[in-house]
Amino acid sequence: MAKIDTLIFDLDGVIVDTAVFHYQAWKKIADQLGIPFTLIDNERLKGVSRVVSFDILLSLGDVKMTEADKVSYREQKNDWFVELITQMKPEDTLPGVREFISANKALGRKIVLGSASKNALMVLGNIQLKDAFDAIMDGNTISVAKPDPEVFLKGASAVNSDAESCVVFEDAVAGVQAAKNGGMYCIGIGEPDVLGEADWVVPDIGSIDLNEFESKISSL
Clarify whether 31 is annotated catalytic: no
Give yes or no for a contact between 136 and 121, defined as CB atoms under 8 angstroms apart: yes
Closest of 60, 36, 40, 50 to residue 81, by C-alpha: 50
Give yes or no for a contact between 138 and 115, defined as CB atoms under 8 angstroms apart: yes
Nearer to ligand B16, 165 or 170 (CB): 170
How many Cα atoms within 13 Å fall on the side-chain side of residue 13? 31
Q: Please, which residues bridge with residue 111 across strands?
A: 7
- Of 8-16, 90-98, 124-132, 204-212, the segment contacting ligand B16 by CB under 6 A is 8-16
Clarify whether 17 is annotated catalytic: no
Close Cβ partners of 91 (under 8 Å, ≥ 6 residues apart): none
Nearer to ligand B16, 11 or 208 (CB): 11
| Contact pattern for ligand B16 over residues 139 through 178, marking x by CB under 6 A | x--------------------------------x------
Of all residues in the shown chain, the one whose CB is closest to ligand B16 is 115
Site for ligand B16 in 42-101 (CB under 6 A): 45-50, 53, 78
Asked if 12 touches Mg ion (CB under 5 A), the answer is: yes
How far apart CA 190 and CA 180 sit, in angstroms, is 17
Residues that bind ligand B16 (CB under 6 A): 10-13, 19, 22, 45-50, 53, 78, 115-119, 139, 172
Give the residue numbers marked as catalytic.
10, 12
